[in-house]
Structure formats: C-alpha cells, structure tokens
C-alpha cells in the first residue's frame, strides 16, 4: 500500500550531455517512471518551475552554462518542496555533503549501479508524495471538525484538542501511518479510535499492545503462522494484520519494540508486505496503521544500542504525528471531564449524578495529574462510589492529591525560562517579607479566594495561611 512508484507529477532531468540524458531517461522509463522532462540548458530551469509544479529534479553538477550548485539554490528558492537529487560524475563525500548543505536531498554517482539510481528516484518519489500530502493536510485544517459525532467519545473544551480533531479529519484520505505520542493516560487510544471512526473503513479496528513482546511472539501475533511453522502449530492462524484487513491496525506502546521487530514493522510500513511465521510467501497489508507510545522516540535508548528506536522507522511513522498534551497543560478541560466522569460513574453505580461544590474544579486545577485523565477518572469514580447523598465531598479528591507533592506551575514556568533558578533574572531581589506576601496573594488569586486550596498550592496548612493573611492585612492597614 506504500512504496509509491506511480506518480502524476513531472520529473525533470538536467544535464548538458544529451547521451546521458537519453540513457538516464530510458533507465527510468524502464523502471516505470513516466512524465519525464529533459533539459540540457540549466539556465531555463526558472521558466520551467514557473510553468508547472516539478516534484523531482535530477541534476548534474558540472555544466558549462550554470554550475549545479547555483542551480540547487535557484530550485530551492523557486520551489522549496521540490526534491533535488544530484547525479554527479564525481564520487566525493565532501562534495555530496556540500550539496546536501545547500539543499539537495540526495546525491548519487553516474557510474553507480543502475538499481541504486532507480532506488534513489523511488525514494524521491515517496518523499515528494509525503511532502505534497502534508501540504494538502495543512491547508485543510480548520477550526471545528465537520463530523463531531466521530469524536463524541472524547470530552474536551480545549482549543488545541479541537485542532487535533480537524487534523484527524484531514488525514482521513491518507494511507500513511499515524503516530500518536503523549504521556500515559492522555487519551491516545481514544484518538486512535477517532481516526478509525473518521475513516469509517469497512474492516474493524484491531488493537495490539506490543510492549513486552519478544520478536518471535511479535511476529506470530502480528503476522500469524502457517500450519507446521513450529511444534504445536497444528493449523494456520491469522495474525492481527490480517484480522485488521480493510480496517485499522492500532499498535500500542511501539517505543518498547525490540530491534528485530522494528525492522519488520519498518518493512510492513515501507513495502506493505510481511511474512507469516513459517511461510516463504509474503502477504500484503490492507489496513491503516496507527501507532502510539508514551516515550520520546527521538531520545529513546541513547544509552544502549539494543533499546534504541530506529531513526528510519521513526521518520516513517511520524509522517502524520499527533501529540496529546498532558492534562496539566489543558486545565480548561477539567470541568467538562469532571461532568463526563460523574455521569459515567453515576450510571455505573446506579446513583443520581451528584452535585459538586464550585471549588472542586478550582482544587483540581491546582494539581499536576501525573496520571493525566486516567487519574482524574479514577478520582471521580472513587468519589462517586463513596458518595452517600447531598453535595459531593472533596475529601477523597484531597486524599488522592495528598499522596503527591504539591506542584508549583508558576515556579516551574519561571524556572523553565531561567535555567532552573527563578530568581536569577530579578535585580534587586525582593525582601523575604515582600516575596512571601506576593506569593500568598498570587495563590489566593489562583484559588479564586478559597483558603484551603491556596494553602495547598503554597504547601502550608490552612491555619498557617490564615495567620499570614491576617499579618498581611495588618501591614496594609498601617
């Protein structure tokens, strides 16, 4: 399903040697590339780029009319997304590096094997397709989703989340994989389901958690096996890839994949095929692949080769990338999530949806939710289970939050800007008394006047805060 070879855009070949232009053209045509344009005078490239959208340019470096290096700059300027491949007679690493620095995407030598030239152009076609698709997607992202029903299982009031919904809608027509990242409990699986719902394919969504699967089990789970593949394999068994046929294959926790399994996944995504265990015949995947991880794949496994995440796989996966923000960065979602989970918990326990004190969302907003939405959901379910009638008590929420050190988002924000020392930018420093008063006022402001919440923010008891506020008022009255 990937590994695109057919293309509808022109490929421009530039070289001052007519015989080379002819033989390169023949080679590419034989390999299935159509729509080739040939140019022996590089100075005309500007006119050509102005006339039509050229996906790929293959150019020589040594030309009498205009040096190839200058051509690279002209092409980059006129058509920034065009994929540039330098086809040079010189096999010099330093020259290749120089061309890449100037904006070329690849460099091959004329005397190299024909397969290498064809493979390079094939990669260039894939790269251009991806660039074009991303441009189309970017241009269609609107504010609100046009099919809100597909997202009805995701409660949110947050603008960034709404923009994720429109991004998902714009991905519907793409067959490229989607990578969903974000901390644990942020709703990655719900987003995978939304992608499936928006695409509305005829097949099912099949979810596989690949964490902890060794390579043998990974292959057997995903690709299935043929009869007699190993002792006990009495019958053929379909793998998850086959089960997801016509639908969506969701691979959860791909950051934990072993090195050999990463190679198999890369092949599946790149060439669209796989081998059932024990079979010599490859099968084709016919499912949209969505992957998720809570790990940062760009830094993962820096310390050890075995645990490292392959760069090529990462780049293949991140064509369409959705990052789920943690709950502490979308606190405007707390009230709507609270209402959603209260209704769910009430239904599950057969109780009436409880009324909660207005301070509850304010209290929750002071907390950093290391377990994200999953943690909020458990808190609410626990509170409703304990609820006996009247207004919902905040006690169980406070208890759950007590287990974690208070979080100081303001201090963190400052420390992010000031290399870990929130005071380094202050000159002169405020006195201890002034700093303390300012902190108290800020906490009261954030807690919307609620002393017990403000005391929690400051990490002191409520009587201690009350005493400080009294002193503050007395000082102001002096």
Which residues contact ligand ATP by CB under 6 A? Answer: 154-156, 182, 184-190, 252, 294, 340, 373-374, 377
Which of residues 196 and 294 has its CB atom nearest to ligand ATP in the complex?
A: 294
CA-CA distance, 121 to 115, in Å (whole number)?
Answer: 10
CA-CA distance, 241 to 105, in Å (whole number)?
Answer: 33
Which of residues 320 and 377 has its CB atom nearest to ligand ATP in the complex?
A: 377
Residue 191: CB minimum distance to ligand ATP, A: 7
CA-CA distance, 64 to 41, in Å (whole number)?
Answer: 9
Residues 6+ apart with CB under 8 A from 23: none
Residue 372: CB minimum distance to ligand ATP, A: 7
Which of residues 13 and 161 has its CB atom nearest to ligand ATP in the complex?
A: 161
Residue 386: CB minimum distance to ligand ATP, A: 20
Which of residues 137 and 180 has its CB atom nearest to ligand ATP in the complex?
A: 180
Residue 268: CB minimum distance to ligand ATP, A: 22
Residue 336: CB minimum distance to ligand ATP, A: 8
Residue 378: CB minimum distance to ligand ATP, A: 9
Which of residues 54 and 192 has its CB atom nearest to ligand ATP in the complex?
A: 192
Which of residues 83 and 199 has its CB atom nearest to ligand ATP in the complex?
A: 199
Which of residues 188 and 288 has its CB atom nearest to ligand ATP in the complex?
A: 188
Which of residues 117 and 338 has its CB atom nearest to ligand ATP in the complex?
A: 338
Residue 343: CB minimum distance to ligand ATP, A: 11
Structure tokens at 100: 């890449």
Residue 234: CB minimum distance to ligand ATP, A: 34
Residue 116: CB minimum distance to ligand ATP, A: 41
Residues 6+ apart with CB under 8 A from 53: 9, 10, 79
Which of residues 288 and 294 has its CB atom nearest to ligand ATP in the complex?
A: 294
Angle at 316 (CA atoms; ends 312, 321), nearest 5 degrees: 125
Residue 328: CB minimum distance to ligand ATP, A: 14
Which of residues 10 and 325 has its CB atom nearest to ligand ATP in the complex?
A: 325
Residue 187: CB minimum distance to ligand ATP, A: 3
Which of residues 182 and 224 has its CB atom nearest to ligand ATP in the complex?
A: 182
Which of residues 186 and 366 has its CB atom nearest to ligand ATP in the complex?
A: 186
* Three-state secondary structure readout of the chain: CCCCCCCCCCEEEECCCHHHHHHHHHHHHHCCCCCEEEECCHHHHHHHHHHCCCCEEEECCCCCCCCHHHHHHHHHHHCCCCEEEEEECCCCHHHHHHHHHHCCCEEEECCCCHHHHHHHHHHHHHHHHHHHHHHHHHHHCCCCCCCHHHHCCCCCCCHHHHHHHHHHHHHCCCCCCEEEEECCCCCHHHHHHHHHHHHCCCCCEEEEECCCCCHHHHHHHHHEECCCCCCCCCCCEECHHHHCCCCEEEEECHHHCCHHHHHHHHHHHHHCEECCECCCCCEECCCEEEEEECCCCCCCCCCCCCCCCCHHHHHHHCCEEEEECCHHHCHHHHHHHHHHHHHHHHHHHCCCCCECCCHHHHHHHCCCCCCHHHHHHHHHHHHHHHCCCCECCCHHHHHHHHCCCCCCHHHHHHHHHCCCCCCCCCCCCCCHHHHHHHHHHHHHHHCCCCHHHHHHHHCCCHHHHHHHHHHHHHHHHC
Closest residue to ligand ATP: CB criterion: 187
CA-CA distance, 453 to 459, in Å (whole number)?
Answer: 10
Residue 334: CB minimum distance to ligand ATP, A: 11
């Amino acid at each position: 399903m990937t590994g695109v070879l057919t293309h509808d855009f022109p490929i421009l070949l530039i070289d001052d040697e007519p015989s080379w232009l002819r033989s390169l053209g023949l080679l590419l045509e034989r390999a299935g590339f159509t729509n080739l344009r040939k140019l022996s005078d590089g100075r005309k490239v500007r006119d050509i780029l102005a006339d039509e959208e050229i996906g790929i340019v293959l150019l020589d470096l040594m030309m009498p009319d205009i040096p190839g290096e200058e051509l690279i700059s002209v092409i980059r300027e006129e058509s920034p997304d065009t994929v540039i491949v330098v086809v040079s007679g010189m096999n010099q690493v330093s020259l290749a590096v120089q061309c890449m620095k100037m904006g070329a995407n690849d460099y091959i030598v004329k005397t190299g094997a024909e397969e290498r030239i064809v493979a390079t152009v094939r990669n260039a076609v894939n790269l251009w397709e991806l660039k074009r698709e991303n441009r189309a997607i970017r241009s269609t992202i609107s504010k609100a989703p046009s099919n809100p029903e597909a997202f009805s299982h995701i409660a949110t009031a947050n603008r960034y989340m709404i923009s994720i919904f429109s991004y998902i809608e714009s991905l519907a027509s793409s067959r490229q994989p989607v990578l969903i990242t974000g901390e644990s409990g942020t709703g990655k699986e719900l987003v995978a389901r939304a992608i499936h719902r928006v695409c509305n394919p005829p097949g099912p969504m099949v979810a596989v958690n690949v964490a902890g699967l060794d390579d043998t089990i990974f292959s057997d789970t995903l690709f299935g096996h043929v009869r007699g593949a190993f002792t006990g394999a009495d019958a053929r068994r379909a793998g998850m890839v086959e089960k997801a046929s016509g639908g969506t294959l969701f691979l959860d926790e791909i950051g934990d994949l072993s090195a050999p399994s990463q190679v198999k996944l890369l092949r599946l995504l790149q060439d669209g095929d796989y081998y059932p265990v024990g079979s010599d015949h490859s099968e084709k995947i016919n499912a949209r692949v969505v992957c998720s991880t809570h790990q940062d794949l760009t830094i993962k496994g820096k310390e050890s080769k075995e645990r490292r995440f392959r760069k090529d796989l990462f780049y293949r996966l991140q064509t369409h990338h959705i990052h789920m923000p943690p709950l502490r960065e979308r606190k405007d979602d707390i009230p709507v999530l609270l209402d959603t989970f209260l209704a769910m918990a009430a239904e599950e326990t057969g109780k009436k949806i409880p009324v909660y004190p207005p301070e509850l969302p304010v209290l929750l907003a002071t907390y950093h939710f290391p377990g994200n939405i999953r943690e909020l959901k458990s808190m609410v379910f626990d509170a409703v289970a304990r609820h006996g009638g009247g207004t919902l008590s905040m006690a169980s929420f406070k208890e759950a939050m007590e287990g974690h050190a208070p979080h100081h988002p303001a201090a963190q924000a400052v420390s992010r800007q000031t290399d870990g020392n929130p005071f380094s930018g202050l000159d002169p420093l405020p006195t201890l008394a002034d700093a303390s008063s300012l902190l108290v006022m800020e906490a009261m402001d954030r807690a919307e006047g609620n002393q017990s919440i403000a005391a929690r923010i400051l990490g002191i008891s409520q009587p201690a805060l009350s005493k400080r506020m009294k002193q503050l008022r007395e000082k102001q009255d002096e």
